[in-house]
Structure 1
Amino acid sequence: MIDKVVGSAADAVADVVDGSSLAVGGFGLCGIPMVLIDALLASGVRDLSVVSNNCGVDDWGLGVLLAARRIRKMTSSYVGENREFERQFLSGELELELTPQGTLAEKLRAGGSGIAAFFTQTGVGTQVAEGGLPRRYNADGSIAVASPPKPVQPFSVDGVVKDFVLEEAISTDFALVHAKLADRQGNLVFDKSARNFSPLCAMAGRVCIAEVEEVVDAGGIDPDAVHLPGVYVDRIVVVGRDVEKRIERRTVRAAASAAERGEA
């Protein structure tokens, strides 16, 4: 039996080198592998090409790598709350491949499933299919690199002919994910919405590294409860249940009055 638990986050990411590509789980600040991201920051690795739904915020998540100029290219569906992400892209310091969210999810799933490409209606009739989306700007604001046109092909769906655009799968050198529970063979369980992109990113990485809050022996997880089979996972780092988790944008409502609570 293979025990995939390693001693530290630094050991787990030691072979991530300059120029590596990464698929990183998370959505906003939910389910992000922050311990592994901090280990990459400490390692000094740079020129990374990162695939993730977004890039964290200015001081948390992938945003800490971005602020340290460690990321060369982002493939994302959302720029979000990260001002530095926006600034670097518009100033020509960062390349961005902006991808529709569902398409990004399927590109990762396809990469992990051995599927080279797939057709989708998403993006047909837009620059997603026709090309010309800015990927990198020059310092003067002109476009240095634009997206190329993609093949479009008609298919008959329920007797109606519709156009579909060809999207290529994504696979990366490494994947980084955060899970609630793992066994020593790498079977993972994610916590509610923290599941988000993580299984797909894990599948797409040729080497998957998972930080987990708790690890149990093989057989300690009901097979029906496994969200990601251990065949996709290469290394596990135990980070504990008290690992810091942040909320991207906290929203609360005012306390109800006695009358509103029906107590008047």
Structure 2
Amino acid sequence: MYDKEVVPSAALRLRLLQQHLSAAAPPPLPLTCAATKAATNAAAAAVDDSKLCTAEEAAALIPDGAWLTFAGFVGTGCPELLLNAVRERFDACGAPSRLGLIFAASVGNSKGRGADQLSAEGLVDRLIYGWTGTAPGFLKLVRENKVQAWNIPLGIVSHMIRDVAAGRAGPLTKVGLGTFVDPREKGGKLNSRTTRDVVKVVQLGGKELLWYQPPAKIDVALLRGTSADLDGNVSFEREALFCDQLNQAMAAHNSGGLVVVQVERIVERGTLPPRAVHLPGALVDRIVVAPPELHWQSFREPGYDGSLSGEIRTPLHSIAPLPVDERRVIAHRAMLEIDRPNSIVNLGVGMPEGVAVMVATHSHQNKHAASVTLTTEAGAFGGIPGGGMRFGSSHNASCLVPTASQIDFYAGGGVDLAVLGMAEVDASGNVNVSNFPGRMPGCGGFIDISQNAKKLLFVGTFTGGGLKLAVEAGKLAIRQEGRLRKFKTAVQEKTFAGSSGNSRTIMYITERAVFRLTSQQQQQGGGGGGHAVELLEVAPGVDIDKDILPLMDFRPIMRGVRQMPAICFQP
């Protein structure tokens, strides 16, 4: 697939050898000529650095048309030097070209850094991804019909990569049934250029399942760690997440391809304890040393936070409370739904992130919140999940696991409560977060989580676009209504299907009202069937006939509507 005999530049080898020999012991006593020659040969063998190369040399090994996967999650763990080198080579000579990219979640800063370096016409011609919100350049290619593109659940992409490594046919699961990735809807296809089906409906054991078909092989994996020894063993001591890197390396290696790992330092053989090594050197073909400015822990800031890697634990009292506004009201109300001790909770990106802050600052208001274990689909257990560019990682985590393993746990119903965002909700309780006017970030882990969590909360403001609110004297005051309605007759795309409710508790929490998913059959005394949305609570100071019903495209079921808990509107 590529020329593994390409060797590092002489200048790089000399520099790295000088770096490692700078602290050598005092010169030995003079030897005979024969002894000197033998000693020289032994020393050369001991410092064999054939896996070390520059980013430019690594990029030159990537063939046209390859399937490529890269490390990182949202804003964390980007192999930035390697991604930059691929783009620079393409700009200079037009190669590599026509790459296929497969990744669970893009990594970048949403402004051109990171994975967006690969979003050039001709450089890439096909995409399989779960979420690409931090690499919007890919979305431009999708909208302009310049690439083939499939958006499928983040966890399924993670398992597809693992299945390539294992030589399996691809994930077989209920995840995605009834949503836009179901081939009876869109099959995850994003534009007219995308015609091939990668998702099929199958029957197995009397159950209807979806079969997701991965690429036949993955040719290149561009990864990242902290330290590498001269054999290519890589440790992750300063990294905030493992993500899918071990499976990505296995997939490329077992496909006869190329595994390149960006690290911040090289250490001598035997330096890394076996338990600290996450990527074994047997899977690694090339190691590239990155300068600090291209090896940020996350794109939030250039510094290093040891509480994200597990090196230290940060005091939780350093987390500032949320200001009393609509985000705080929603997060507070959601926190009150933690209704059992030792619950395992997943929090989505955006509005749900506030629940983590509320747990850190106001868990005394819910006896079950103090014992909660917060998790992320990226692989963090425990602690307080980070937000923004740090989404997916966690401060003071108790454990970090690979993404594919976390998704296994989620798929089996391990999450007691999930709090996810919502952009659109319709009369049947369907939710859209993946494709709506002005944005098309993808479904991410939303489908994996929402179809399997025991209890599910969708959170977001009641309207969007210019909404201005205030909380005064324990009441909600609407200063300016949002331009965009969120409760619609039909969602543009089904990221959550109300039909997958399966008698679970499913709620929709806004700053002024709380709804739940209910069965129309139950409400109509055995007739009708299907699902509907019921209004449960309204905020103090809110008028149902003025502030809620006129702003919905459908009329919810209403029976004994009560007031939202007053504590949500207090400092």
- SS of structure 1 residue aligned to 2:139: helix
Equivalence map 1:22-41=2 (5 Å): 22-41=68-87
* 1:22-61 alignment, distance < 5 Å: 22-44=68-90, 45=95, 46-55=97-106, 56=108, 57-61=110-114
Q: TM-score, normalised by structure 2?
A: 0.39
Count of residue correspondences: 246
Pairing of 1:76-115 with structure 2 (within 5 A): 76-115=129-168
Deviation at 1:242, TM superposition (A): 5.2
* CA distance, structure 2, for counterparts of residue 146 and residue 243 of structure 1: 37
* Structure 1 residue 113, shift from structure 2 partner: 2.4
Q: Which string of whole-angstrom CA distances, capped at 9 and with x for unpartnered residues, describes residues 33-86 of structure 1?
A: 111111111211222111122343341112022146522122110121443322
C-alpha distance in structure 1 between counterparts of 2:188 and 2:146, whole Å: 13
Alpha-carbon distance in structure 2 between the residues aligned to 1:246 and 1:227: 17
Computed over aligned residues only, the root mean square deviation of the Cα atoms, in angstroms, reads: 2.9
Distance change in 2, residues 1:119/1:133 (3 Å): closer
Cα distance in 1, alignment partners of residues 166 and 279 from structure 2: 13
Measured after TM superposition, the shift of residue 163 of structure 1 is 3.0
1:151 positional shift: 4.1
How far apart are residue 179 of structure 1 and its match? 0.7
For 1:166 and 1:133, locate their aligned partners in 2 and report how far apart those are by CA, in whole Å: 11
In the alignment, is the contact (CA less than 8 A) between 2:121 and 2:141 conserved in 1? Answer: no
State the structure with more CA Rg.
2
Residue 122 to residue 41, structure 1, CA distance change in 2 (3 Å): same
What's the CA shift string for 1:81-110, capped at 9, x where partnerless? 443322221221222121211111111112
Is 1:6 the counterpart of 2:52 in the alignment?
A: yes
Structure 2 partner of 1:202: 249
Q: How far did 1:217 drift?
A: 2.1
- Relative to structure 1, the CA distance from residue 152 to residue 68 in structure 2 (aligned partners, 3 Å threshold; closer, same or farther) is closer
- Bigger CA drift: 164-173 or 179-188? 164-173
Cα distance between partner residues in 1 of 2:135 and 2:321 = 28
> Which of structures 1 and 2 has the larger relative contact order (alpha carbons within 8 angstroms, sep 6+)?
1
In structure 2, do the counterparts of structure 1 residues 74 and 4 end up closer, same or farther at CA, with 3 Å as the change threshold? Answer: farther
| Structure 2 counterpart SS, 1:10 | helix
Q: Please name the residue that 2:240 is paired with.
A: 193
Cα pair distance change 1:136/1:126, threshold 3 Å: closer
Residue pair 1:136, 1:146 contacting (<8 A) in 2 also: no
Equivalence for 1:20: 66
Q: Matched residues in 1 for 2:135 and 2:60: separation?
A: 28
1:129·1:152 contact (CA, 8 Å) conserved in 2? no
Q: How far does residue 18 in structure 1 lie from its aligned partner after superposition?
A: 2.5
Partner of 2:208: 163
Report the TM-score, using the length of structure 1 for normalisation: 0.80
> Quick one: distance in 2 between partners of 1:129 and 1:254?
41
Query: What is the distance in 1 between the residues matched to 2:235 and 2:173?
Result: 30
- Which one has the bigger helix percentage? 2
Which structure has more strand as a fraction of its residues?
A: 1
Residues 204-242 of structure 1: per-residue CA shift (max 9 Å, x gap): 222111111112222111111111222221111122455
**Displacement of 1:253:** 5.5
Q: Secondary structure at the match of 1:182?
A: strand
| Pair 1:183 & 2:236 matched | no
Structure 2: which 5+ residue stretches go unaligned? 1-44, 302-318, 324-360, 362-571
- Determine if contact 1:20/1:173 at 8 Å carries over to the other structure: yes
1:54-73 to structure 2, matched below 5 A, reads 54-55=105-106, 56=108, 57-67=110-120, 70-73=123-126
Equivalent residues of 1:23, 1:204 under 8 A apart: no
Deviations 1:122-153 (CA, angstroms, capped at 9, x unpaired):
1234443425336353xxxxx34245251412
Q: Distance in 2 between matches of 1:74 and 1:4?
A: 33
Q: Is the 8 A contact 1:107 1:168 kept in 2?
A: yes
Partners of 2:300 and 2:227 lie apart in 1 by 26
- 1:158 maps to none
Structure 2 Cα separation of the partners of residues 169 and 255 of structure 1? 42
Task: Provide the residue aligned with 2:175 in structure 1.
Answer: 122
Amino acid at match of 1:49: G
CA contact (8 A) 1:4 1:236 kept: no
One-letter amino acid matched to 1:50: L
